[in-house]
Amino acid sequence: MKDTTKETLRSDFEKMMRHALQKNGDFGFHIFGDYAASVLNFYVGSSILGLAEKREAALFLASLYNAGIKNVINQHDLQEIADVLAQDPTLNYQVLAPIFD
């Protein structure tokens, strides 16, 4: 995965996190999961991310989330989370709206 793609993922993740914290007061796992699945599918559909890179990007997003919660998720669980996110076909544009503001 290209560094520019990682920076885009990181930037959009940070936008979403800030939005969730301002709106809901938290950025819980359910919010993260909905966001991550949708953003990955949006990026693949927009050719920002290749399908072959989707799992790597899912792991990158899960690692960013984990860092934000003081690394309480172990590596094995991060791998499982990345697998689930990479296989999830969800694309909810409402969930993604905050990153386009």
Residue 1: how many other CB atoms lie within 10 Å? 16
Q: What is the rounded CA–CA span in Å between residue 22 and residue 46?
A: 28
pTM, full prediction? 0.95
For the segment 25-68, what is each residue's pLDDT rounded down to a tens digit?
A: 999 999 999 999 999 999 999 999 999 999 999 999 999 999 99
Average pLDDT over residues 13-20: 97
Cβ(27)–Cβ(15) below 8 Å: no
